[in-house]
C-alpha cells in the first residue's frame, strides 16, 4: 500500500512540475514577444515624430492568436510637451501614427510630424530603462 501511495505521489508531483514548467515557458514567450513589439514600436515612433526626448510604454495587450498588439504610450518632447495615448501595433509598421486619442492630442502629435534621429530615453512596460 505504501508503495502505491509513493508511486501515485511521484506521478502527481511530475504532473504538477510539467504544468509549472509549461506556465513558465508561456510567460517567457509572452515577455519575449512583448519586448519584440516594444522595441519595434520605439523605432516606429522615432520614425514618426521629431524631437522625442522620452518614450514610456505601459499596459501591453495582445490579441489571441498573436498578431495584433496595443499599449499606452507617453511621449515627452524636447520642448517639454507631454502626450499620453493608446495605440495599436503590428510588427511590419515602419512608422506608427495610429493614436487613439482626443482631437487635442492628435493635433499635438501632428505638430511633431517628422523623425527623431538622436537617442531617446525609453521606459519599457516591465520598468526597464534604456537609451535607444
Total count of domains within the chain: 1
What pLDDT shows up at residue 47? Answer: 95
Phi, psi of 63, rounded to the nearest 5 degrees:
-85, 155
Residue 68 has pLDDT above 90, yes or no: no
Domain span at residue 73 reads: 2-131
What is the arithmetic mean of pLDDT over 119-124? Answer: 97
- The β-bridge partners of 73 are 57, 85
pLDDT of 23 > 70? The answer is: no
Is 80 exceeded by the pLDDT of residue 14?
A: no
Return mean pLDDT, the chain. Answer: 86
- Which residue has better confidence, 75 or 31? 75
Bigger pLDDT: 33 vs 101: 101
Amino acid at each position: 500500500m505504501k508503495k502505491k501511495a509513493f508511486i501515485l505521489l511521484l506521478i502527481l508531483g511530475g504532473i504538477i512540475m510539467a504544468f509549472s514548467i509549461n506556465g513558465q515557458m508561456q510567460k517567457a514567450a509572452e515577455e519575449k514577444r512583448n519586448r519584440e513589439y516594444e522595441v519595434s514600436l520605439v523605432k516606429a515612433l522615432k520614425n514618426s515624430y521629431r524631437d522625442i526626448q522620452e518614450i514610456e510604454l505601459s499596459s501591453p495587450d495582445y490579441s489571441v492568436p498573436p498578431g495584433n498588439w496595443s499599449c499606452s504610450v507617453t511621449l515627452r518632447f524636447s520642448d517639454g510637451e507631454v502626450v499620453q495615448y493608446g495605440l495599436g501595433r503590428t510588427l511590419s509598421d515602419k512608422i506608427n501614427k495610429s493614436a487613439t486619442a482626443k482631437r487635442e492630442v492628435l493635433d499635438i502629435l501632428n505638430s511633431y510630424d517628422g523623425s527623431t534621429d538622436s537617442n531617446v530615453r525609453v521606459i519599457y512596460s516591465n520598468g526597464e530603462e534604456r537609451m535607444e
